[in-house]
Amino acid sequence: MPPAVFLQNVRKHYNKVPVVNDISFSIESGEMFGLLGPNGAGKSTTIRMITTLTKPSQGTIEIEGYDVVSQPLAVKQNIGVVLQQTSVDIDLTVWENMELHGRLHHIPNPERKRRISQWLDYVELSERRDSLVKTLSGGMKRRLQIARALLHQPKILFLDEPTVGLDPQTRRRIWEIIRDLNRQGMTMLLTTHYMDEVEYLCDACGAGKPGRIGIMDSGKLIELGTLQDFKSRHGEGLVMKQVDERFEYKFFPTLADANAYLDSLDDKTGMMVRPSNLEDIFVEITGRQLD
Q: Where in the chain is the domain with CATH 3.40.50.300?
A: 5-231
Q: Give the three-class secondary structure for 86.
A: coil
The CATH number assigned to the domain with range 5-231 reads 3.40.50.300
Taking the C-alpha atoms of residue 252 and residue 231, their distance in angstroms, rounded to an integer, is 10
pLDDT in tens, 151-186: 999 999 999 889 988 889 999 999 999 999 999 999
Taking the C-alpha atoms of residue 154 and residue 178, their distance in angstroms, rounded to an integer, is 14
Q: Is the pLDDT of residue 49 over 80?
A: yes
Strand ranges inside 95-186, DSSP E: 156-160
Q: Is the pLDDT of residue 208 over 80?
A: no
Q: Is the pLDDT of residue 287 over 80?
A: no
Describe the crossing of helices 138-150 and 111-122 by its angle, rounded to 10 degrees. 140
Dmax over CA atoms of the chain, in Å, equals 76
Percent of the chain past pLDDT 90, that is, above it, reads 77
Instruction: Compute how many other C-beta atoms are within 10 angstroms of the C-beta atom of residue 72.
Output: 16
pLDDT in tens, 102-143: 999 999 999 999 999 999 999 999 999 999 999 999 999 999
Taking the C-alpha atoms of residue 145 and residue 158, their distance in angstroms, rounded to an integer, is 11
Instruction: Compute how many other C-beta atoms are within 10 angstroms of the C-beta atom of residue 246.
Output: 7
Backbone angles phi, psi at 94, to 5 degrees: -55, -50
- 84: alpha, beta or left, given left = phi > 0 and alpha = psi -120 to 50? alpha
Nearest in space to 279 (alpha carbons), one of 246, 245, 249: 249
